[in-house]
Amino acid sequence: MTKNKNFKIAIIVLAGYFTLAATSFAIQLPDSPYPYSVTKTGGCKRDKTSICTIEIWLAHKQKKNNKVIRKELKDKSIKTLRKTIQYWKPKGGHPPTNIAIGGGISAEDARYAIDLALKLNDNIHSLIHQRLNPPNYVAIATSAWDAKSETKISQESLEKLRNPSLKSEEFHKLYRELTGEANVEPAFY
């Protein structure tokens, strides 16, 4: 029953993405081979952030910080919906320690997302393959993908991604190398 429920959730998420993509147009970021989607109605405030959508799943203990977390994201001009930040049940254990960073996210915003994941979710042990997510999307502690959709990452490699001297193109090249996607066509599917 759980597999069926997870499949239905995945279909709903993908349907929402394609609906959003249908009302968008693509803009090429200068440092990225990936298109950066911006809705015509102004979904992303491109002058402030390259993260249009963020989804976060956190341990129940973080629920008391909900207003603070939402304010921080709002201050960074990152759109949050009521269900964008979700909390595990009180005895639900620890959320996954992974992160998904779309190919259209600037290196600065990607480092912010990594730092946010470390702050709110304690650690990052794996990266979700970039080609599986929309370009301007970040997910922290996602369970939307199976084990074959992520690659374990060492703390040393994570620190390389956090290097503030990396430009966006360099960041994404390293991300794709770490996930084994370096020679895979960079398209969302």
Query: What is the DSSP pairing of strand 85-87 with strand 53-58?
Result: parallel
Strands (E) in the chain, as ranges, are 24-28, 35-39, 53-58, 85-87, 98-101, 126-128, 137-140, 150-152
Q: What's the mean pLDDT in 73-85?
A: 83
Is pTM, for the whole model, over 0.85? no
Q: Is the model's pLDDT at 130 over the cut of 90?
A: yes
Using pLDDT thresholds of 50, 70 and 90, give the confidence band for residue 188.
low
Q: What are phi and psi of 66, to 5 degrees?
A: -55, -50
Looking at every residue in the chain, the average pLDDT score rounds to 80
Q: Is the model's pLDDT at 34 over the cut of 60?
A: no
What is residue 44's predicted lDDT score, i.e. its pLDDT? 60
